[in-house]
């Protein structure tokens, strides 16, 4: 930020700094957002601040699937109408939403909160893998759909999970490569995602 | 937002909604930001929320130049080292920062908080014009630099101010057209802005 030398009210420069920390918000965008927040009515700005505080206070991880939730277990894990013989494993909560939006999947989920990435020092113990294996023991689960991203880390994580889970007698499948390699699951459109679900195959 | 049908914790969807209201933040960006805020440590999210609340609580408009400030009058209006014979009129506080960054201007400022725009129903009475005229009465001001944006509304506002101010015996100038027509002052680089200041001309 080159605002140090410029007469700018301290709370404003602090807000610009905090906004600049957000992903995808550069210094100019941070300035614009800060001045936007200064301009709007106080109750509108307060609504945003309170929404930020509320997610930190009220939202927890489901102790079963590790998705974000207000109540534990989450609404999906509690839903008796769900097909309990399938678990779809995703990297992050936004990927779960992408699968849900297809309305073609009625099973359960498991959120890893990351993928294996030796370069970034992320190993199996950093992911929610232990809990996944426990869910498969003596349970009704017949299939695990590994829906990690179709890129290097995602594939490696899928291979790793496949080797761990196959000996348990559970079918392990992977989303079909309807998804273009190197892309991000989060941005897939509903049709592509639905086709990828239908065409899933054994690892 | 197509999150209605999807099992998403209520505080999360509320946060996505609030983020989506910000300028330049689409539904996908809002989702990403919300999940980013969920992931980071609570004190980091709290710092952002508090920075938002702080600007609304502590930042006011300077009663002289109408720039954002913590103390009234603001540091520029109080600064006795400033050239009190010149006032630079800008549309919004971010434009003031763009002029300050050149370090080529040592006069005072006046923030209009908008420009004349009949299409949007913005007339002279909606801008801080009355206060500007009062500052020119019997004062030491010899020149008003009208630094509104070089687009239709900005030019119209400059012409309007020129007609009001010229009879008071004060020189009214306009930034040189070093700035490309149709652009936004806020994004001008320091050199272009400095040249525009040097080449200012009578309206």
Task: For A73-86, write each residue's pLDDT tens digit.
Answer: 999 999 999 999 99
The reply to whether B24 touches chain A by the CB within 8 Å rule is yes
Q: Which chain B residues in 106-125 lie under 8 Å from chain A, judged by CB atoms?
A: none
Q: Running along chain A, 203 residues long, what does each successive block of 10 average in pLDDT?
A: 62 94 92 93 95 95 95 94 95 90 92 93 93 91 92 91 94 82 78 76 74
Q: Can you tell me the distance from the alpha carbon of A196 to that of A146, in angstroms, rounded to the nearest whole number?
A: 12
Q: Domain tally for chain B?
A: 2
Residues spanned by the domain of B105: 82-202
Q: Which one of B8, B19, B56 would you mutate to disrupt binding with A, by most A Cβ within 10 Å of its Cβ?
A: B56
What confidence tens digit (pLDDT) does each residue in B38-82 have?
Answer: 999 999 999 999 999 999 999 999 999 999 999 999 999 999 999
Bridge partners for B60 per DSSP: B69
DSSP reduced 3-state for A100? helix
Instruction: Please check whether residue A37 lies inside any domain of the structure.
Output: yes
Write the CB contacts of A37 (distance below 8 Å, at least 6 apart in sequence): A15, A45, A48, B52, B55, B56
Interface A:B, Cβ pairs < 8 A: 168
Taking the CA of residue B53 and the nearest CA in chain A, the distance in Å comes to: 6
Helix ranges, chain B (H)? 10-20, 27-39, 42-58, 75-78, 93-100, 129-136, 152-165, 190-198
DSSP category for residue B117: B
Residue B28: asked if its preceding bond is cis (omega within 30°), the reply is: no
Give the gap in angstroms from C-alpha B149 to the nearest C-alpha of chain A.
16
A119 and A156 housed in the same domain:
yes
Residue A101 lies in a domain: yes
- Strands B83-90, B143-146: pairing kind: parallel
B48 in Cβ contact with A18 (< 8 Å)? yes
B132 within domain boundaries: yes
CB contact under 8 A, B12 and A68: yes
Residues A97 and A157 placed together within one structural domain of the fold: yes
Q: Decide if B11 and A47 are in contact by the 8 Å CB cutoff.
A: no
**How open is the CA angle A30-B46-A185, to the nearest 5 degrees?**
65
Contact A28 B100 (CB under 8 A): no
We report the CATH number of the domain holding residue B30 as 1.10.8.420
* Residue in B18, B56, B100 closest to A51 by CB: B18
pTM of the model: 0.73
Say what the ipTM of the complex is: 0.73
Q: Is B105 in the same domain as B169?
A: yes
Residue A182 resides in a domain: yes
């Amino acid at each position: 930020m080159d605002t140090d030398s410029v007469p700018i009210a301290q709370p404003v420069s602090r807000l610009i700094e905090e906004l600049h920390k957000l992903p995808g918000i550069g210094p100019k965008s941070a300035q614009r957002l800060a001045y936007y927040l200064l301009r709007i009515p106080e109750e509108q700005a307060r609504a945003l601040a309170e929404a930020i505080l509320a997610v930190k206070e009220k939202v927890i991880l489901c102790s079963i699937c590790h998705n974000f939730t207000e109540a534990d277990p989450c609404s999906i894990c509690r839903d008796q109408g769900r097909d309990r013989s399938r678990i779809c494993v995703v990297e992050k909560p936004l990927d779960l939403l992408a699968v849900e939006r297809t309305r073609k999947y009625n099973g359960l989920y498991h959120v890893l909160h990351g993928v294996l990435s030796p370069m970034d020092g992320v190993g199996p113990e950093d992911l929610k893998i232990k809990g996944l294996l426990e869910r498969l023991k003596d349970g009704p689960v017949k299939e695990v759909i590994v829906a990690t991203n179709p890129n290097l880390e995602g594939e490696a994580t899928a291979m790793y999970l496949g080797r761990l889970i196959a000996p348990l007698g559970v079918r392990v499948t992977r989303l079909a490569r309807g998804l273009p390699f190197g892309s991000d699951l989060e941005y897939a459109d509903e049709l592509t995602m639905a086709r990828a679900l239908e065409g899933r195959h054994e690892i």
